[in-house]
Structure 1
């Protein structure tokens, strides 16, 4: 049988009875949208992060643009982020009519190079999105200091960092707001789409609740332009069921990463680095091959090891971003990494013998 980079079926087999009972309970409740399951999960997520409140929305992408809108970002503003993120980060900025402004990433951890941020600030800059990529947090203390000096908002993109720690803080609890994705592949994944806006700021939460529901605060009366973006009751209930398990799942991810680290040291594969200020969750286990990434992937696939690349193209060189005016060569670290990186199989129910098979096959093909 092939070994895939991710799989949910074993998790479903393990939780099937509880999930089906949960879904049945929701269906029998008579309320499928904006009911008590969503309220319960919002409170549980807020408690897990240690922030005031959360607002469940339809997707991680929606969580980004609703969070930005609730922070006051508007058309014509500039938002600083990185080019090696997933398309949704930038898509959300542009949905608001704002302009993404990129800074490069660091060579050792793929994360925002905070030292480049200040030079990218202009009079139109209103916010910064640090992307906590692959399961590890951007160095937030110096970033927050820059933001405070310039009166900017910080919105943490936590789509890949549920459960990660920055020093003693949960990912998503440091900035002015944060966004989470519950896409099925995530550390905390739904059985469909979903997302959440998190914040300690009561005004941000209140506005996000209005924006997700057509700008309404009372039924059928819109106070402002808004959207239709609601986390449904079935997904909220499933996520509540899974939330207490994620720390154990993160421990298992870290154990798999340690197994990879030990066995692959000295092979010529560049291994991921965990920063001293972080607890890495290894949402994905990203390695580099400096000369023949695509050849390695082809040979792995031929042996039944199906890996992934997150991501092959930095945003600024995609045709869909051509109108932003960037050119190839402007962000050399992100561009170089995109040619070298790939992700090994990583999910909590991956068996040790499967990890060992991946290691042995990888050693053979390189």
Structure 2
């Protein structure tokens, strides 16, 4: 979405393109000249550059973030028998549980912390049982789960840890980015992400060379070379055009994340003292990258409509928790089983945030939000 007619969208991809038009156009032109649409030099280079940016290691590039989760689970655990369990949160996008059930495991959902909206680690440990095989912590809104404490729990019970980092490109916990402490981290490069492609794309980052190699092979029909297949895999490839775009964006992501933090600091400053608006909470050992700036308010739907009617692109991530979704009714959970998550579904509100957002725009967002709350 692009700002127009005085509107302030939730995210403005047009502003990003206009700011770096010549870089993007040149990268695409080079890819077109080479006709390297599957694989090719941009694909190889982005895999290396992204892995180095994550902290050193290996990146397997795949078709999207959901496939990244599926492939990471399959390679780390093998397919489940339908009774084995993987623990994650209800407060996430459905792709997290789709990957669990799609690989033959049963999702076990736990509640979140009311301040950070991240996995409650006491709830995690309580949920671990004899069938538990892995944990998928979801690094939400741009902030990472407390990975040191989570890894202590996982090691105690001999569990694999696959970090869902679809909203955490560049975030850190105690100086470590996603995938450094866990067995692997999965990324989505959906266009609206902090590091977004111009279509679907994803990656699995790991420090395990053999794991990355096996995921890469499985994502490309189990190939060893063009006409030799060690096993039957799938077709989930990040194409050359997306790799070319992502290489350009990777050069700017640290500056863009810093700009997002500045926008968040404006919101913090301008909203200070409004007790009816609960602001995002950042743990001391976390570096937040503000994929989303999420406040909590009563009468959320009315307030969101008020903002939208006045050209402010407020959103909700997510209004219906997974344990309340018809698709997961088979888990047998009620709203009150995960009370914090259920309450968040009624109160969370995402405000516009992107690197190009100006101070004047932030002031207009806040003024309109305060009007809505007081109306």
Output the TM-score relative to the length of structure 2: 0.95
State the Cα distance separating 1:215 from its structure 2 match: 2.0
- Match runs of 1:56-95 below 5 Å: 56-76=61-81, 77-95=84-102
User: What's the secondary structure of 1:178's corresponding residue?
Assistant: strand
The answer as to whether partners of 1:329 and 1:335 remain within 8 angstroms in 2 is yes
The answer as to whether partners of 1:4 and 1:307 remain within 8 angstroms in 2 is yes
Q: Deviation per CA, 1:263-285, whole angstroms, max 9, x where unpaired?
A: 11121200001111100111000
The equivalent of 1:271 in structure 2 is 279
RMSD over aligned Cα atoms: 1.1
Q: Deviation per CA, 1:108-127, whole angstroms, max 9, x where unpaired?
A: 10000111212212222111
The equivalent of 2:31 in structure 1 is 26
User: What's the secondary structure of 2:53's corresponding residue?
Assistant: helix
The correspondence for 2:192, drawn from 171, 185, 192, is 185
The equivalent of 2:370 in structure 1 is 363
Aligned counterparts of 1:92 and 1:283: Cα–Cα separation in 2: 22
Aligned counterparts of 2:88 and 2:212: Cα–Cα separation in 1: 23
Which region of structure 1 is more displaced relative to structure 2, 178-187 or 326-335?
326-335
Aligned counterparts of 2:322 and 2:313: Cα–Cα separation in 1: 24
The correspondence for 1:199, drawn from 193, 200, 206, is 206
- Match runs of 1:251-270 below 5 Å: 251-267=258-274, 268-270=276-278
State the Cα distance separating 1:359 from its structure 2 match: 1.0
- Runs (4 or more) in structure 1 with deviation over 3 Å come to none
- Match runs of 1:75-224 below 5 Å: 75-76=80-81, 77-224=84-231
The answer as to whether partners of 1:70 and 1:205 remain within 8 angstroms in 2 is no
Output the TM-score relative to the length of structure 1: 0.97
- Match runs of 1:200-349 below 5 Å: 200-267=207-274, 268-289=276-297, 291-349=298-356
State the Cα distance separating 1:51 from its structure 2 match: 3.1
The answer as to whether partners of 1:73 and 1:98 remain within 8 angstroms in 2 is no
User: What's the secondary structure of 1:111's corresponding residue?
Assistant: coil
State the Cα distance separating 1:179 from its structure 2 match: 0.2
Aligned counterparts of 1:37 and 1:137: Cα–Cα separation in 2: 29
User: What's the secondary structure of 2:141's corresponding residue?
Assistant: helix
Aligned counterparts of 2:43 and 2:159: Cα–Cα separation in 1: 31
Aligned counterparts of 2:48 and 2:180: Cα–Cα separation in 1: 14
The equivalent of 1:17 in structure 2 is 22
Q: Unaligned regions of 5+ residues in structure 2, if any?
A: 1-5
Q: Unaligned regions of 5+ residues in structure 1, if any?
A: none
The answer as to whether partners of 2:179 and 2:207 remain within 8 angstroms in 1 is no
User: What's the secondary structure of 2:252's corresponding residue?
Assistant: helix
